């Protein structure tokens, strides 16, 4: 089970690296955690604030908005066992997954 401590450890190990590699600056990023309670625990939100990472608070975080959560599309590709060699290949896989009927996704 992922509690706030496990989630915070994951963020500490990965979030800044991901932002730096993909966006170059935290000033251009609005982090949108899922609605799980562990993702919005005060230890997590305090760390995000101290790191200068803007985030969507739980009460403003809309569920079921895949257009606001590009990672959700990537996860659908990942759950199917598909792999991608690069960003272009990943984009093609995502588009393929989005075209599948809802009962197949």
Domain residue extents for the chain: 4-60, 66-99
Q: What is the pLDDT of residues 67-91, one digit of tens each?
A: 555 555 555 555 556 666 667 776 7
The per-residue DSSP string of the chain comes to ---HHHHHHHHHHHHHHHHHHHHS-GGG-EE---S-GGGG-HHHHHHHHHHT-EE--GGG--SS-GGG-HHHHHHHHHHTT---SSHHHHHHHHHHHHHS-TTT-
pLDDT of residue 5: 93
Q: What is the pLDDT of residues 52-71, one digit of tens each?
A: 888 888 888 766 555 555 55
d(CA 73, CA 56): 19
**Angle at CA of residue 72, ends 15 and 51, nearest 5°:** 20
Radius of gyration (C-alpha) of the chain in whole angstroms: 15
High-pLDDT (> 70) share of the chain, %: 62
Over 50: is that where the pLDDT of 105 sits?
A: no
Instruction: Find the mean pLDDT for residues 41-47.
Output: 94
Average pLDDT, the chain: 75
pLDDT of residue 43: 95
Q: What is the pLDDT of residues 9-31, one digit of tens each?
A: 999 988 888 888 877 666 678 88
């Amino acid at each position: 089970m992922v509690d706030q401590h496990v989630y915070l450890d994951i963020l500490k190990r990965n979030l800044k690296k991901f932002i730096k590699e993909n966006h170059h600056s935290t000033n251009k990023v609005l982090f949108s955690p899922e609605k799980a309670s562990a993702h919005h625990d005060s230890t997590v939100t305090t760390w995000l604030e101290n790191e200068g990472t803007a985030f969507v608070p739980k009460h403003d975080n809309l569920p079921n908005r895949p257009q606001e959560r590009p990672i959700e599309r990537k996860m659908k590709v990942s759950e199917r066992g598909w792999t991608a060699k690069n960003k272009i290949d990943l984009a093609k896989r995502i588009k393929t997954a989005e075209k599948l009927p809802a009962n197949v996704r």
